Every structure is written in C-alpha cells, then in structure tokens.
Amino acid sequence: MSGTVQGVGYRAFVLGRAHALGVSGTVRNLPDGCVEVIAEGAADRLASLLEYLRQGPGGARVEDLRLSWHEATGKYTTFGLVHAGWGSPKEGPSRRT
C-alpha cells in the first residue's frame, strides 16, 4: 500500500483485522514509505482483509494497492508485525519506523 500509511497505526490496524479474520502472514513498513502485507487464508477471509486494507484506519489515506496472488506456502501459522531491521515477525526489539 502507498499513500499515508506509515505513522498512522496502519500496521496495528492490519494486525487486528487479520487476527479477527483468522488470516496468517505479516505486515511491515518499507523504506519507501509503503506498507507490505503478506497474507494466507481462505479466499473469503482474504477478500475481507483486502477491503480493510483499502480502507485503512482513521488518519490513513491509501492511494495505491498493488496485488500479487500466489499459492499459499503454509509458512505462516499466525499473523505478525515485521519490525524494521529484523527479518521475521516479532523478532528482536520493537523499533519506530
């Protein structure tokens, strides 16, 4: 996602929605100001998450959302935040980005 998506609680918003939907994967800020979401789950739950991603939390403005669909890998068992400078969800100390 691009637009006003960093510094507005977008990752926490995605994390909460993904947990509620039972979707697994990750969400992270990218150095270019975008947010990346990798999600696996049932098609109907992913469709619901996609609608939330387009909306975002109050204060966010999603200008562009690029999609790439792939076969599920089964790599993710839960949904987590990937923190800047760390390679996997919830690994290492939390950092502001």
Active site residues: 11, 29
Exposure class string for 62-85: b at 16+ Cβ within 10 A, else e: beebeeeeeeeeeebeebbbbbee
Segments of 1-97 assigned E as strands: 2-4, 24-29, 35-40, 61-64, 79-82
